[in-house]
Amino acid sequence: MKGESVNISTSATFQSQPAPLGNAAGFLRTPCPLPVRFLIPALLLLVLSALPGRAQRTSEGMRQFSLSLGTTLSHMGGEAAFGVYLRGGYWMAEAGLHNRREKDIPSGETLHFPRLSLRGGYMHRLAADYSRRVCLYGGADAFVGLEFFDAFHTLTPEVLKGFQSKGFGDVRFIYGAAPRIELEWFILRSAALLVRVRCPFTVGTPFPLIGWEAGGGFKLNF
């Protein structure tokens, strides 16, 4: 009798085990709620977007090329720049052509004096989101260039002679420096929109030494 009771209890224990497995299988076959189906891919995309690899768009050693337009109340111009990203920012070399206009002259006429300049400087990253999709930079550049007096010959001969008598040559050498701030927004993996403001201090010109420029453009990284 004792042996039989042991065998019965053992058999009962063995037969009771499939019950939890059947419940688990039934749970797996239960349709997944609709919000959960979208929650898992959304969490996966969120994790991937936060990976450090996304920051490689501005990684150290990466090169950049940009084209931009700048303007003030008195002039408009364009610039082309090449640069290389560093650990905390980037350095750049830039060439620009700006057509400046001066209306506050005694004759009341508009004087055009285009400026051709070469610049070099450094921009330090002040702030950025985790993936560096949006970056804010601050820095400065130094520049040298040429300023062409009355390049479009808009002044009358009498007014032109008056300026020449005061030492205004046809071409002047200029130089200076400009603090600048720039916002960089990547709309694609290697393409960004730019918004920048500069405040150049120019030596060698008879016109206002301190000015400002605001502009925008686009940048390609490679």
Domain boundaries, the chain: 2-49, 54-221
Average pLDDT over residues 65-94: 90
Residue-wise pLDDT for 3-54, tens only, equals 444 444 444 444 444 445 444 444 445 555 555 555 665 555 555 444 444 4
Question: Residue 50: its pLDDT value, please?
Answer: 44
pLDDT at 216: 93
How many beta carbons lie within 10 A of that of residue 150, not counting itself?
A: 18
63-71 and 111-128 as β-strands: parallel, antiparallel, unpaired? unpaired
The identity of residue 7, as a single letter, is N
pLDDT of 32 = 52
Residue 191: count other Cβ atoms within 10 Å of its Cβ.
Answer: 12
The two counts, helices (H) then strands (E), for the chain are: 4, 9
Q: If you classify domain 54-221 with CATH, what class do you get?
A: mainly beta
pLDDT score for 182: 96
Those residues with Cβ within 8 angstroms of residue 96's Cβ, 6 or more apart along the chain or in another chain: 70, 77, 78, 79, 80, 115, 116, 117, 119
